[in-house]
Amino acid sequence: MMDEDSRYEAVRSRDGRFDGAFFFAVETTGIYCRPSCPAVTPKRHNVRFFATAAAAQRSGFRACRRCRPDAVPGSAEWNVRADAVGRAMRLIADGVVDREGVAGLAARLGYSARQVQRQLTAEVGAGPVALARARRAHTARVLLQTTGLPVTEVAFASGFASVRQFNDTIREVYDATPTGVRATAPRGGDARRAAPGTGIPLRLAHRGPYQAGAVFDQLAREAVPGVEEVSGAPGGRTYRRTLRLPHGTALVAVAERPGVPRAGGGTHPGGWLDARLELTDPRDLATAVQRLRRLLDLDADPYAVDDRLAADPRLAPLVAARPGLRSPGAVDPLEPAVRALVGVAGAADLVRRHGKALDAPSGSLTHLFPEAAALAGAEPGGPLGALAAALADGTVRLDPGADRDATERALRALPGMTAAAVATLRVRALGDPDVAPPGLDAPDAWRPWRSYAARHLYAAGELTP
């Protein structure tokens, strides 16, 4: 926890470690920024601090055009926390409010809509509608600056209910019309206008160092043929896959090569991974990006993780060798569940038999991963059928907002679900950063980052995945 004086020191030193952890706004300019903004540091008495971009927008501040505070990595706090606020933030990022409304969000959390509103406003300074609005505005900016979609199509693809609502929001957030936002796109990088049929180019930002090689090694080991592939030589590999999304499907490509850190001085702010999305429905953009971020663990705080684990004599040399090692998640929680029960080869067989074939295959990518209901009907009985049926009827939930402890109890009640499989699903499907694999003597000093400690031991060959 940081007090406001500590936050101001982070702003004054342009400390990129805190990009996304909080935002600051300048009352004399009406603009809010990320902590590492390269602009002249404002005077302390003119600065206000906010937990989220939505809270700054709700207070009438506009996004800085220089540091683009809406493009920072997400706060690692929401992935760590297992309470209602953390679960709500993960669900809102996945687009639940846009798809199901505040009532749907509240039902998933097991609270009333009023309770959810009160808790979010108290802790992050904005309710679910304001948080979803900020998400829509960011999606709109990306589409305006990276595609040639007409402005009207961008409005509805971003999740706005009307063009008027879209125009008003863009003016409030960016102090420009949608056409003006498109005209101010920076040259090069993720702002290059996508040619028709080539997908949307993106930069997936991360804070601090990022061990891309270790992540891509794991993706290559676990890739399910037909759904995923990793091609190229280490250091320059590309991960490609299919995605099933709420409104359609997508083909995704992510490059292993990390980008050059953003200029602006201060502590190393992090970098990005270059990606490209080919969506059948642009309304799925924000959800697809968020699921990729979970898969690649891009919202982690490597400084907090490494500082804690490096204090342990056993882990210190491993952390020094691989600073910023990540703990990958999943784009579809059914995938790690199936791999945990039948392995990669068994998952590939299920894809061939029960996955939906793409209308237009892309190289080796030919199918979508099977849905739980399809597996439950095609594989009755046995551990896989029981798990698929439980996921299909909602007995077990593996979505970002699921209660981790309740989900573990439900998983353990299923036939054939081993302790190792449950631990894997807590890490990969539920994003729990503090899971020790069965049999590992993990001291309390490693908390709350035991999942990352295990990743270091795997990478060093001291544990077998």
Question: Where residue 26 sits, what CATH number does that domain have?
Answer: 3.40.10.10
- Residue 179 sits in the same domain as residue 95: yes
- Residue 49 sits in the same domain as residue 82: no
Mean predicted confidence (pLDDT) in 189-196: 50
First to last CA, the chain: 34
In a domain, 441, yes or no: no
In a domain, 448, yes or no: no
pLDDT at 196: 53
Helix/strand/coil for 10: helix
pLDDT at 327: 97
Q: Is the pLDDT of residue 198 over 80?
A: no
In a domain, 442, yes or no: no
- Residue 80 sits in the same domain as residue 48: no
In a domain, 286, yes or no: no
Strands 62-63 vs 31-33: parallel, antiparallel or unpaired: parallel
Q: What is the pLDDT of residues 210-247, one digit of tens each?
A: 999 999 999 999 999 999 999 999 999 999 999 999 99
Identify the weakest region by mean pLDDT among 2-6, 248-252, 327-331, 362-366: 2-6
pLDDT band for 71, please (50, 70, 90 cuts).
confident
Mean predicted confidence (pLDDT) in 256-261: 60
In a domain, 70, yes or no: no
Q: Is the pLDDT of residue 188 over 90?
A: no
- Residue 172 sits in the same domain as residue 205: no
- Residue 245 sits in the same domain as residue 174: no
Calpha distance 143→132 (Å, rounded) = 17
pLDDT at 382: 85
- Residue 360 sits in the same domain as residue 392: yes
Cα angle for residues 438, 79, 20 (degrees, 5° grid): 145
pLDDT band for 386, please (50, 70, 90 cuts).
very high
Q: What is the pLDDT of residues 138-185, one digit of tens each?
A: 999 999 998 889 999 999 999 999 999 999 999 999 999 999 999 987
- Residue 84 sits in the same domain as residue 127: yes
pLDDT at 190: 44
39 CB burial (10 A radius; 0-12, 13-18, 19+): middle
- Residue 204 sits in the same domain as residue 179: no
Mean predicted confidence (pLDDT) in 86-100: 95
> Count of domains in the chain?
4
C-alpha dihedral (167, 169, 174, 176), degrees to nearest 10: 20
- Residue 167 sits in the same domain as residue 118: yes
Amino acid letter for position 275: A
pLDDT at 258: 56
User: Any idea what the CATH number is for the domain that residue 343 is in?
Assistant: 1.10.340.30
Domain that holds residue 9: 4-53
